Amino acid sequence: MRIVTAVAPVNIATIKYWGKRDDDLILPLNDSFSATLSLEDMCAKTTVMISPYLLENKFWLNGKEENMDNPRLSNCLKALKDRLNKENSEEVSSWKIHICSENNFPTAAGLASSAAGYACLVYALASLYQVDGDITAIARNGSGSACRSIFGGWVRWHKGSLEDGTDSIATQIFPTDHWPEIRVLVLVVNDSRKKYSSTLGMKQTVMTSELLKHRTKFVVPDRIEKIIDAVHKKDFQSFAKLTMKDSNQFHAVCCDTYPPCFYMNDVSHAIIDMVHVYNEFKGQLKIAYTFDAGPNACLFIQESDLSEVLSLIRYVFPSNLNANEYYRGIALDKDLFS
Ligand code: PMV
């Protein structure tokens, strides 16, 4: 019997992946760039066990048994087994497997749960089967963005150019301790499952959006280089602007999809307003927002601004509002933070 437990955090893309050039191999149209949260934050935890005595494969997600016939899961397993070390592991490839995974945050609510989940699963399985070398291309088979959660710190997913996808891998650009002053606040606007999955949304976008063609060809390549430079220099002003512009363009592309995919809601828009009014009020960019395929906001801030930003959020979005009064208004008073 072999048993391994792994933990993998969520990653937050600051330059978004949206659109595949190959749906089966999960090959993206553009490079993307993200920050992986720390192991104390939003994480997936997965235990995998193989034994000659298990009678069938089984998979539990958040305590509920799920179907093992999921093609993405099978693709990850197959890719790992293809890389087994023949000398010491060939026999174990026929053993049945039990997988038990849980997230410490809402699943499939646009909070990158599948990224953390598949990164964790592939990492645990790679240890179990003693597979060496790059495993990001395998994690990509589970969920594209999962390849970035294999590493901590600041990570780039290179779209690659080979047809078989072997060069579509993630690499760590800066380590976890590169910019310790950065903090990420996740504002959970709605934690229910999203209306349409990113897979469906992307497919629809690739088929119908003109703006996506412009974005992948003319915008993202330059933006990736610029954001890497900004993170390298710890230049929060450039980093924040690029992050917000890329989130906005990603959602513009979703809106340009026909029929459109709307992932943000009125509260998300109120958060965007709040951030811009506050940044203007402070005379510099203090907060950067980014939204994935859901209404929840991820805010990047510097540690020195954390307590003031938390007061701002509590002031603009008091917890005792009813559903029709989203927020208190965003006209900020100069005395508010004095
Ligand atoms: O990996 P997927 O298929 O869940 O797609 C993720 C897409 C975004 O989260 C919206 C952007 C990204 O780069 O993570």
Contacts of 207 (CB under 8 A, 6+ apart): none
pLDDT at 147: 98
> Over 60: is that where the pLDDT of 322 sits?
no
Per-residue pLDDT, averaged over 129-139, amounts to 95
Query: Per residue in 99-125, pLDDT tens?
Result: 999 998 877 666 777 899 999 999 999
In angstroms, what is the span from residue 198 Cα to ligand 1's centroid?
7
Tell which wins on pLDDT, 333 or 137: 137
Whether the CB of 144 sits within 6 Å of ligand 1: yes
In angstroms, what is the span from residue 112 Cα to ligand 1's centroid?
7
What pTM value is reported for the model? 0.93
Could you count the other beta carbons within 10 Å of the beta carbon of residue 281?
16
Structure tokens at 92: 């174990």
Question: CA 34 to CA 156: how far, in whole Å?
Answer: 7
Contacts of 257 (CB under 8 A, 6+ apart): 201, 204, 205, 208, 209
In angstroms, what is the span from residue 235 Cα to ligand 1's centroid?
25
Whether the CB of 114 sits within 6 Å of ligand 1: yes
pLDDT-derived band at 231 (thresholds 50, 70, 90) equals very high
Query: What strand order describes the sheet that includes 32-36?
Result: 11-15, 32-36, 153-157, 170-174
> Over 70: is that where the pLDDT of 332 sits?
no
> Over 60: is that where the pLDDT of 328 sits?
no
Whether the CB of 13 sits within 6 Å of ligand 1: yes
Whether the CB of 292 sits within 6 Å of ligand 1: yes
Q: Which atom of ligand 1 is nearest to the CA of 17?
A: 13
pLDDT at 319: 76
The per-residue pLDDT of the chain, averaged, comes to 92
pLDDT at 329: 57
Q: Which atom of ligand 1 is nearest to the CA of 144?
A: 1
Structure tokens at 39: 């192991």
In angstroms, what is the span from residue 80 Cα to ligand 1's centroid?
23
> Over 70: is that where the pLDDT of 326 sits?
no
Mind listing the domains of the chain with CATH numbers? 2-178 (3.30.230.10), 183-337 (3.30.70.890)
Per-residue pLDDT, averaged over 148-167, amounts to 97
Whether the CB of 194 sits within 6 Å of ligand 1: no
Whether the CB of 143 sits within 6 Å of ligand 1: yes
Tell which wins on pLDDT, 299 or 89: 299
Structure tokens at 137: 């291309």
